[in-house]
Amino acid sequence: MMQTLFGVLALFIIVVVLLWVLVPAFYGLPPVSSRKERIRRALELANPQAGETLYDLGSGHGRVLIMAAKEFGLNAVGIETGPVQCVISRVNALRNGVSSKVRIEAGNFYKSNLKDADIVFAYLTSDHGNRLQEKLSRELKPGARVVTVSFNLPGWEEAFFDRENLIYIYKK
Ligand SMILES: C[S@@+](CC[C@H](N)C(=O)[O-])C[C@H]1O[C@@H](n2cnc3c(N)ncnc32)[C@H](O)[C@@H]1O
């Protein structure tokens, strides 16, 4: 009886770990969060106003969303494809007392509409630059800001570039 229980538990843990790592890997990205100081700097550069809405494309464990809600008074929406990341970020939002200001959508951000975003945050790779800039041009409202970390939008002119942290700020 005990052996079966341990077997089921071990299998469950293996499946969770595989989902945790493999789903982001399938989308070509490691499930790595940005450093807190880098996120704070990126958010400050976007000139956030309390009550605005921030979208994090590929929100991982929710670190950006939680800081946006807690320190900047933003409503934060995360779109994340990894099911384990979605669960962890919901728990993190709850633990940090910001679950009423944070929403996680499980899925592919290319299939979500970003028309409500005042600020879009994305920490992805340069493979996403072209496809993302077309989507942002189509969907974002005038005045919306885009913060990209580690990659740029090749057809857009940045309003500011933080060379040390590789943070690009754009304004539509
Ligand atoms: C480098 S992590 C960034 C996490 C978080 N934004 C941060 O800065 O801490 C990138 C995340 O994007 C997610 N991702 C990649 N492509 C995606 C897609 N098309 N739709 C939704 N999530 C995606 C991955 O699962 C991963 O968790």
The Å distance, Cα 73 to ligand 1 centre, comes to: 22
Among candidate residues 123, 45, 138, the one with its CA nearest the CA of residue 79: 123
Question: Is residue 33's pLDDT more than 70?
Answer: yes
**Predicted local distance difference test score (pLDDT) of residue 31:** 66
Is residue 72 lining ligand 1, measured as CB closer than 6 Å? Answer: no
| % of the chain beyond a pLDDT of 90 | 80
Q: Which CATH code for domain 2-171? A: 3.40.50.150
**CA of 24 relative to ligand 1 center, distance in Å:** 7
pTM equals 0.92
Helix (H, G, I), strand (E, B) or coil at 73: coil
Q: How far apart are CA 110 and CA 135, in angstroms?
A: 8
- Domain parsing of the chain, residue ranges: 2-171
Q: What is the pLDDT of residue 122?
A: 97
What's the confidence (pLDDT) of residue 52? Answer: 98
Going by alpha carbons, the residue nearest to atom 7 of ligand 1 is 33
**pLDDT per residue as tens digits for the range 108-132:** 999 999 999 999 999 999 999 999 9
Q: Is the dihedral of CA 41, 29, 16, 111 positive or negative?
A: positive
The per-residue pLDDT for range 62-111, each reduced to its tens digit, is 999 999 999 999 999 999 999 999 999 999 999 999 999 999 999 999 99
Residue nearest to atom 11 of ligand 1 (CA): 58
Ligand 1 atom closest to residue 56's alpha carbon, by position in its atom list: 6
Testing ligand 1's pocket by substitution, the residue of 18, 61, 81 carrying the most ligand atoms inside 8 A of its CB is: 81
What does the pLDDT read at residue 10? 85
* Res 26 pLDDT > 90: no
pLDDT of res. 11: 85
Mutate to test the pocket of ligand 1, among 80, 86, 102 (most ligand atoms within 8 A of CB): 80
Q: Which of 35, 47, 39 is nearest to 160 (CA)?
A: 47
Q: Is any atom of ligand 1 closer than 6 Å to the C-beta of 29?
A: yes
Q: Which residue's alpha carbon is nearest to atom 13 within ligand 1?
A: 58
Predicted confidence at residue 30, as pLDDT, reads 67
20 pLDDT tier (thresholds 50, 70, 90): confident
